Amino acid sequence: MEGGASKEDGQDNSISINVKFSGGLIAISVSPDSTIKHLKSLLQPLTNVLPRGQKLIFKGKLLVDEMTIRASEVTNGSKIMLMASQGLHQGGGPILKQAQTRPVSRAGYAGKLGKEHFKEQKPDALDKNRWERWKTTGVIALSECNLKAIPDEVWAFEVSARVLDLSNNAIQEVPLKIGSLKIQKLYLNGNDIMDGSISWEGLASLKYLTVLSLNQNNLTTLPSALGGLTSLKQLHVAINKLTSLPNEIRFLNQLEVLKANSNRISTIPACIEDCGALIEVDLSSNFLSELPDTFGNLHNLKSLHLDNNGLKSIPSTLFKMCLQLTTLDLHNTEITMDVLRQCEGWKSFDERRRLKHQKQLDFRIGSAAFDEGADKD
């Protein structure tokens, strides 16, 4: 991993230092007149560790935020050790030297059916009883079947199917004909779906779809076609590689639940305010440094999860305008209780929060549970 000098560092006066972290070295250029605090801000996107979770040690001494690089006696080529406080990180956690992949668990299915059932399922293997069950219930249940493609039999249920569950398989393609179904709920969690392998044109044809769940895949973008799902009430896109949300999300004016945690999202479009039906939003474990002020226009919002981001503040109107908000998770961000107490409407929010979680609060009195200014469900 390498870091470049920022404009304020000055290219002519910069020095190169090596930061030891997680078994590797991070080369970064910085001005000798920059503060240690500024150096930490440069290290944040390279390590995912928030500045107040960083301890920089040079020659056995802890470097203080207010010190300059020059005053700390760090020179060109020096090596500094970075120690990260547990929990104080953004995104999915500190960037490790060797990132481990996340296997899809099919243990439950294996336990029920045995290893021989992990052979690829062929369409003609679907028994008559399963077919009748699908027809009677309207629920096509194909989770954890080790499928590599959507079985042809599924397309025969154009009218009668209400729910299609294909979670925890190895499906790579969602074809255009997905739009021929009349389903209300579609679950595609834990597959191998990438941007180019899913037909958003087909999904946009699902005019009755209220729940779309694409957690734990390999998506990097959500296209403008998402705005065509105007009946959608729940959108789950957690644990992908998304960097942003499309502006067309504003057309989802019936959306009540948005879960986009554990991605790489750095910005939220201001038009999020048009999703006025939102009740629960989870943007935890992303790369957010700020939220648009328009968040305050989500008057139906009750639950907002923002933990493990690089946030330093919240929209000024959040407490004042979101009068139903009772759960706000800001753990492992740069936001402190002092910052929250200065926000207009904090006292009213705090009363609502305490009323909702009274039993938990009584149990936690005197604990450190309130360090970050919010409680978890």
For 39-83, write each residue's pLDDT tens digit: 988 888 788 888 888 888 888 888 988 889 999 899 898 899 888
Query: How many other CB atoms sit within 10 Å of the CB of residue 204?
Result: 18
pLDDT of residue 370: 42
Q: Per the structure block, which two tokens stand in for 55?
A: 């301890």
pLDDT of residue 117: 37
Question: In the chain, pLDDT over 70 holds for what percent of residues?
Answer: 81
Q: What is the pTM of this model?
A: 0.72
Strands 185-187, 163-165: pairing is parallel
For 224-249, write each residue's pLDDT tens digit: 999 999 999 999 999 999 999 999 99
pLDDT of residue 164: 96
For 5-49, write each residue's pLDDT tens digit: 444 444 458 889 999 988 888 888 889 998 998 898 888 878 888
For 98-129, write each residue's pLDDT tens digit: 433 344 443 333 333 333 333 344 444 456 78
pLDDT of residue 257: 98
Q: What distance in Å separates the CA atoms of residue 239 and residue 259, rounded to the nearest whole number?
A: 10
Q: What distance in Å separates the CA atoms of residue 210 and residue 214, rounded to the nearest whole number?
A: 13
Burial of 132: CB neighbours in 10 Å, binned 0-12, 13-18, 19+:
exposed
pLDDT of residue 97: 52
pLDDT of residue 359: 59
Q: Is 260 within 8 Å of 238 (Cβ atoms)?
A: yes
Q: Is a pLDDT exceeding 80 seen at residue 361?
A: no
Q: Where are the domains of the chain?
A: 2-84
pLDDT of residue 351: 92
For 184-209, write each residue's pLDDT tens digit: 999 999 999 999 999 999 999 999 99
Reported in sequence order, the residue ranges of the chain that DSSP labels E, i.e. its strands, are: 2-3, 15-21, 24-30, 54-58, 61-62, 79-84, 139-141, 163-165, 185-187, 211-213, 234-236, 257-259, 280-282, 303-305, 327-329
Q: Is a pLDDT exceeding 60 seen at residue 290?
A: yes
pLDDT of residue 96: 60
Domain 2-84 part of CATH 3.30.9.10: no
Mean pLDDT of 326-347: 92
Reported in sequence order, the residue ranges of 267-326 that DSSP labels E, i.e. its strands, are: 280-282, 303-305
pLDDT of residue 49: 84
